[in-house]
């Protein structure tokens, strides 16, 4: 059995009792960054063996872990924060496991996109999660395509690229397009900016971004 187990995105209390139990019961935990995950495991006195599994080694290691499950071991996959597979490693392991008829379960739990969306004040009946924009190739074409999207758009962004991304959105989405920028969800310094894209650019020019961000952008309004 392979379990995909969401971990807190900030506050260590944001984890389910079932997640804690399974992390104690499985034979092995695969973690994106073992140093980061060790803090969580120590907090809940979880002593299960742990190995690294991230975007730089997953192709080399996936067959090894699938083989271990075939031979009877149970494995839990966690990311640094949130639900594994959402802009984090997870898809490849699930795909290869299902090819071998291995049972995979994903527990419900923490993810940054839903809290950001719900507190944005923008329509939530239909939305499109875009994750991180391409770093270089394909970035402009993605923005052009998204500019015509009528659903609310949700993006992840790092602090050093936030202002650049907001500025790049302006010519495609329009300076008056509504946006919510949510920082450090569930952490001590969580904050929210709500306004339009132009105001967001001006705000973060004056307030250098720190922490991790979710950008929620209003969909195109049809006339």
Question: Got the DSSP string for 104-159?
Answer: EEE-----SHHHHHHTS-S--SSEEEEESPPSSTTHHHHHHHHTT--SEEEEEE-H
The pLDDT score that the predictor gives to residue 53 is 92
The average pLDDT across 138-152 equals 94
Two tokens, residue 129? 């999660």
The pLDDT score that the predictor gives to residue 188 is 87
Measured on CA atoms in the order 141, 144, 149, 152, is the torsion positive or negative? Answer: positive
Residues 59-103 have pLDDT tens digits of 889 999 999 999 999 999 999 999 999 888 899 999 999 999 999
Q: What is the pTM of this model?
A: 0.89
Structural domains of the chain ordered from first start: 2-106 (3.40.1010.10), 113-217 (3.30.950.10)
The pLDDT score that the predictor gives to residue 223 is 65
The pLDDT score that the predictor gives to residue 108 is 94
Do 89 and 55 meet the contact criterion of CB atoms below 8 Å apart?
yes
Helix (H) or strand (E) run with residue 17 in it:
helix 17-25
The pLDDT score that the predictor gives to residue 89 is 85
Residues 11-68 have pLDDT tens digits of 999 999 999 999 999 999 999 999 999 999 999 999 999 999 988 888 889 999 999 9
């Amino acid at each position: 059995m392979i379990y995909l187990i969401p971990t807190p995105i900030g506050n260590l209390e944001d984890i389910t009792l079932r997640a804690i139990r399974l992390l104690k019961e499985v034979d092995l935990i695969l973690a994106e960054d073992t140093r980061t995950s060790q803090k969580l495991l120590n907090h809940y006195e979880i002593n299960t063996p742990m190995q690294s599994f991230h975007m730089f080694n997953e192709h080399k290691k996936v067959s090894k872990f699938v083989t271990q499950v075939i031979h009877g071991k149970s494995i839990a996959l966690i990311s640094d924060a949130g639900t594994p597979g959402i802009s984090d490693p997870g898809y490849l392991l699930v795909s290869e496991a299902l090819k071998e008829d291995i049972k995979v379960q994903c527990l419900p739990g923490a993810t940054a996109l839903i809290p950001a969306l719900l507190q944005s004040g923008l329509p939530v009946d239909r939305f499109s999660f875009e994750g991180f924009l391409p770093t270089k190739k394909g970035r402009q074409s993605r923005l052009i395509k998204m500019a015509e999207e009528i659903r609310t758009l949700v993006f992840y962004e790092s602090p050093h690229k936030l202002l650049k991304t907001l500025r790049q959105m302006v010519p495609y989405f329009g300076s008056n397009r509504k946006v919510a920028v949510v920082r450090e969800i569930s952490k001590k310094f969580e904050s929210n900016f709500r306004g339009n894209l132009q105001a967001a650019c001006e705000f973060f020019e004056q307030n250098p971004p720190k922490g991790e961000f979710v950008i929620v952008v209003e969909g195109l309004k049809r006339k």
